[in-house]
Structure 1
Amino acid sequence: MPDATREQLPGRVRTLLGDLDTTSGGAIGEAAAVLLDAIEAGGIVHVAGAGHSLAMVCETFYRAGGLAPVRPIWDPRVLPLDDALRSTRAEREAGVGRAVAEAAAPAPPDVAVVFSTSGRNPYPVEIAEECAARGVPVIAVTSARASRGAAARTETSLADHASIVLDTCVPPGDVVHPAGEPRTAAVSTILAAYAWARVLADLDDLAAARGVELPRWTSANVPGGDAVNRELLARYRHRVPELSAGS
């Protein structure tokens, strides 16, 4: 395969990363500020997604270098690993997302982060709507392009209920290869993970400027990591039952 052909996908991904920087750079800083305010006030970050957006829920929860006061809110039916067709049905079913949010009972000074590339299925929309109704600011990580190109299964979109929107610039259909007729190489996880990493970097800089020590997990595979994490577990396990359910 010629080198030029191998570079087609990397080039398109880098272009999309640049688009995200241009489109959402300001919003990323705003999201970092909202998160820091919530953490300083003792709030929890509630994180949600369905289907493959659950990869981003995993990326935010109990992650080396990530925030400790993060709670995943989800319904097991939206996980595609043991029943993929069920997960699609569940995120399209009215009421599932609202029930998840109601069970988590977010309240100020908490924050919600909802990941959904299209933001047009009832599940993420209902979670965002319910959180916003409870006075909890919502950070939506979504794609305006993908949302415009998606089937509208709700009267509103995820972005409509968000205080801050991080536009990942994912194209409709997610895939980007080959360029003329894309059919493979989905990029939503790459772009959403990059957006979240940028939020964490801005959050770190902002916290340092304010003199705030962020509660962050340390890799359990480095010296001293287990001791740091034990302290954080003791601090947050009563607010985040998913940290030690059944332990």
Structure 2
Amino acid sequence: MIEARPQLPDRVRTLLDDLDAAAGEAIGEAAGLLLDSVEADGIVHVAGAGHSLAMVFETFYRAGGLAAVRPIWDPGVFPLDDAVRSTRVERRTGIGRAVVAAAAPAPPDVAVVFSTSGRNPYPVEVAEECAARGVPVIAVTSARASEGATARTATTLADHASIVLDTRVPPGDVVHPAAAPRTAAVSTILGAYAWSRVLAALDDLAAARGADPPRWTSANVPGGDEVNAALLERYRHRVPELTGDGPSGPRPVG
């Protein structure tokens, strides 16, 4: 007898298929926008709060990832040393704007903002302020989660984006058990998959153009340290978070 596959893997695979269907064209558009920016010597400013910071980690100083990436964030939204504070700060007005003001993005830079619900002031302000500075925004968010979330702002993250990657995360994030979900959050799985698809599309586009965008190499393979040393020298003054040469934003807010 062949044992049936567990229900959770089936639901995750269905969500991945949903993401492919919903974000197909946007994947290529995002790849094109990012490659245009990097080729013009721009910086990709990446933001998120709470558990969306997992996606910021996924984009920054990552093997195979773009080197021209700067994380912009307020320490107050980091949940590992004060989880309750991180929720409070994400909902407070003015913090997102201050983070962008400190980073001062400008064309040809691009911003990528991760937020599953896209309804809290912090990610919305980051996107709104970047757009106001002429910096196009790629929003990685879920329309379904946004519609089902408490509205804490007059607009959503998607409202300020040039490109929206819909991750298809359900309201509440969790998917198990199917009849009454209470565990097994999927936002990080879907967000990481969406970002990997963007990087793959960017690589294909770069190959077609004959371009070679700056990308990190794993430090655990031969020659990796040498490749990365050159990139560190190239970007350390524009991405101070690479070497700890400067703060990324305001001090933590209580």
Short-chain TM bin: over 0.9
- Matched letter for residue 107 of structure 2: P
Aligned counterparts of 2:123 and 2:236: Cα–Cα separation in 1: 25
The one-character-per-residue Cα deviations of 1:160-216 (angstroms, maximum 9, x if unpaired) are 000000000000000000000000000000000000000000000000000001100
Corresponding residue of 1:52 = 51
Report the 3-state secondary structure (helix = DSSP H, G, I; strand = E; otherwise coil) of the residue aligned with 1:67.
coil
The one-character-per-residue Cα deviations of 1:93-122 (angstroms, maximum 9, x if unpaired) are 000011001110000000000000000000
Corresponding residue of 2:212 = 213
2:77 maps to 1:83: no
- Matched letter for residue 230 of structure 2: E
- How many residues are treated as equivalent by the alignment? 245
- The alpha-carbon deviation at position 56 of structure 1 amounts to 0.3
Report the 3-state secondary structure (helix = DSSP H, G, I; strand = E; otherwise coil) of the residue aligned with 1:182.
coil
Aligned counterparts of 2:70 and 2:22: Cα–Cα separation in 1: 28
- Matched letter for residue 172 of structure 1: P
Identity of aligned residues (%): 81
Aligned ranges 1:176-191 → 2 under 5 Å = 176-191=175-190
Report the 3-state secondary structure (helix = DSSP H, G, I; strand = E; otherwise coil) of the residue aligned with 1:43.
coil
The one-character-per-residue Cα deviations of 1:103-142 (angstroms, maximum 9, x if unpaired) are 1000000000000000000000000000000000000000
Corresponding residue of 1:136 = 135
* RMSD of Structure 2 on Structure 1 (CA): 1.1
- The alpha-carbon deviation at position 89 of structure 1 amounts to 0.2
- Matched letter for residue 20 of structure 1: L
- The alpha-carbon deviation at position 3 of structure 1 amounts to 4.4
Aligned counterparts of 2:101 and 2:173: Cα–Cα separation in 1: 30
Corresponding residue of 1:127 = 126
Corresponding residue of 1:154 = 153
Report the 3-state secondary structure (helix = DSSP H, G, I; strand = E; otherwise coil) of the residue aligned with 1:202.
helix
- The alpha-carbon deviation at position 246 of structure 1 amounts to 4.6
C-alpha change, 1:37 and 1:134, in structure 2 (3 Å) is same
Report the 3-state secondary structure (helix = DSSP H, G, I; strand = E; otherwise coil) of the residue aligned with 2:175.
strand
Aligned counterparts of 1:36 and 1:223: Cα–Cα separation in 2: 27
- The alpha-carbon deviation at position 16 of structure 1 amounts to 0.2
**Uncovered stretches (5+) of structure 1, i.e. residues with no partner:** none
TM-score, normalization: structure 2? 0.95
Aligned counterparts of 2:3 and 2:172: Cα–Cα separation in 1: 27
Corresponding residue of 2:15 = 16
Aligned counterparts of 1:137 and 1:7: Cα–Cα separation in 2: 41
Aligned ranges 1:59-98 → 2 under 5 Å = 59-98=58-97
- The alpha-carbon deviation at position 13 of structure 1 amounts to 0.2
- The alpha-carbon deviation at position 157 of structure 1 amounts to 0.1
TM-score, normalization: structure 1? 0.98
Corresponding residue of 2:249 = none
Runs of 4+ in 1 over 6 A off after TM superposition: none
Aligned counterparts of 1:245 and 1:149: Cα–Cα separation in 2: 39
